[in-house]
Amino acid sequence: MRGIEHIPWLYDALMSAMDVTGFSRWRRKLVGTVENRILEVGCGTGRNLPLYPPGSEVVALDPDFAALRRARRRSPGTLLVVARAEAMPFPADHFQTVVSGLVFCSVQDPAAGLAEIGRVLHPEGQLRMIEHVRHSHPTLARIQDGVQPMWTWVTGGCHPNRDTEAAVERAGFRIDPEDRVARGVMRRFSARLVKPRDPTR
Ligand SMILES: C[S@@+](CC[C@H](N)C(=O)[O-])C[C@H]1O[C@@H](n2cnc3c(N)ncnc32)[C@H](O)[C@@H]1O
């Protein structure tokens, strides 16, 4: 069975319901203050693409070809690339902004994906993310651990129990406390590189 993330019409139907309950405002904030050139990692069916400010130069990638076909219909002018966050076909320092929404719960190797973002992002560039994360209450985090295998199977990759903010900081970014919103397990934040990059990457 394919998971929800790999059934574009079903993913979009569920996301439309989430968007009307207020998530579309989070999406608009995610892409509202971006600087060219922009990379969206894990764009899926392209729900963020029409929300970028006019004149934005966006390249968007996702490993799921069926999702990208929907993204193409939503945003015919965007350059779409079939690729994974862990191995991106772009030169170092190429992008001024990297955007990622609800993706690092699903990326198979988050540390490798975040290291790649650190490579393709200009040293003064900005990473902008929305993620749902591991619950801060230990009991609720253990429940997330318990449901994770079934959840990952049903969704097609999502891990509800990842501490993605900690992973972002381990990858050499500093999260801006002035630009961080936390509601339950949902997070929206921006981050910048603080550590010199490994020159061999
Ligand atoms: C929950 S969907 C989010 C889609 C879109 N960003 C949105 O906000 O609606 C997660 C997306 O991450 C993509 N994904 C999974 N593994 C990935 C990887 N290793 N690199 C990049 N994207 C990945 C999936 O194909 C899927 O489109």
Go through the domains of the chain in sequence order and give each one's CATH number.
4-193 (3.40.50.150)
Phi and psi of 94, rounded to 5°?
Answer: -80, -30
Q: What is the pLDDT of residue 84?
A: 98
| Pair of tokens at residue 92 | 């170092």
> CA angle, corner 46, sides to 180 and 11, nearest 5?
90
Give me Rg for the CA atoms of the chain.
Answer: 16
Q: Whose CA is nearest to atom 14 of ligand 1?
A: 42
Q: What is the pLDDT of residue 70?
A: 98
Chunked into runs of 10 residues, the chain (201 residues) has average pLDDT values of: 91 95 95 94 98 96 98 97 98 98 97 98 97 97 97 96 98 97 97 75 56
The 3-state DSSP class for residue 70 equals: helix
Nearest to 42 by CA among 76, 11, 10, 77: 11
Q: Identify the residues whose C-beta falls under 6 Å from ligand 1.
A: 5, 15, 41-44, 47-48, 62-64, 67, 84-86, 101-103, 106-108, 113, 157
- The bridge status of strand 38-41 relative to strand 58-62 is parallel
Question: First CA to last CA across the chain, in angstroms?
Answer: 36
| Pair of tokens at residue 123 | 């040293």
**What global pTM score does this model have?**
0.95
The enclosing H or E element of 28 equals: helix 24-32
Q: What is the pLDDT of residue 2?
A: 84
Q: What is the pLDDT of residue 201?
A: 56
Q: What is the pLDDT of residue 50?
A: 97
